[in-house]
């Protein structure tokens, strides 16, 4: 099973956990990271996420270091192909942020089973596109929130 976590998910364990939802999502991501470390699931990283992480300012060094540590667990680092750029452009034309579109396009190109984001608006758009079958790109990942991902991949 191959999982792509966007930067929102990578950072969720470091967010302020005073809100119940954020705390639950942080715990879900930490549980998924345990599965990745154990080899039960595989993490897909990308040039896009590496670039995004490198742009985290020095005053947030802890966040940058945490994200780099997590993506070091990935067994594959996806490159951005011409096909991924075309898919990202199509996603962006439907209202998805350009950087978010690149993340999703790379996950689609590399046949990720799950694409996880904690960004509600982004997730809503991806799910709507999938429901309408607006993306004619073959098999798409399941677009999920951290809590949905944990429900899907953590053994009961």
Complete DSSP assignment for 73-125: T-SEEE---HHHHHHHHHHHHTT--HHHHHHHHHHHHTT-SEEE---HHHHHH
Q: Any idea what the CATH number is for the domain that residue 78 is in?
A: 3.40.50.1010
Confidence band for 133, pLDDT divided at 50, 70 and 90: low
pLDDT at 94: 83
pLDDT at 134 over 60: no
Per-residue pLDDT tens over the stretch 49-63: 999 999 999 899 999
Confidence band for 137, pLDDT divided at 50, 70 and 90: low
How far, in Å, are 31, 66, 104, 126 from residue 1 at the CA level?
A: 15, 23, 17, 20
pTM, rounded to two decimals: 0.92
Structural domain that includes position 67: 2-153
The domain total for the chain is: 1
């Amino acid at each position: 099973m191959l999982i792509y976590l966007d930067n929102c998910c990578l950072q969720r364990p470091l967010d302020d956990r005073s809100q119940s939802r954020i705390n639950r999502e942080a715990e879900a991501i930490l549980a998924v990271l345990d599965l990745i470390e154990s080899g039960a699931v595989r993490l897909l990283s990308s040039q896009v996420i590496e670039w995004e992480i490198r742009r985290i300012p020095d005053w947030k060094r802890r966040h940058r270091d945490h994200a780099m540590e997590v993506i070091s667990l990935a067994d594959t680092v996806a490159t951005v192909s011409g096909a991924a750029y075309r898919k990202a452009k199509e996603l962006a034309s439907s209202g998805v942020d350009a950087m978010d579109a690149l993340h999703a396009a790379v996950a689609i190109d590399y046949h990720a089973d799950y694409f996880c984001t904690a960004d509600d608006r982004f997730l809503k758009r991806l799910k709507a596109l999938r429901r309408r079958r607006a993306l004619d790109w073959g098999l798409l990942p399941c677009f999920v929130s951290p809590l949905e991902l944990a429900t899907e991949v953590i053994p009961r």
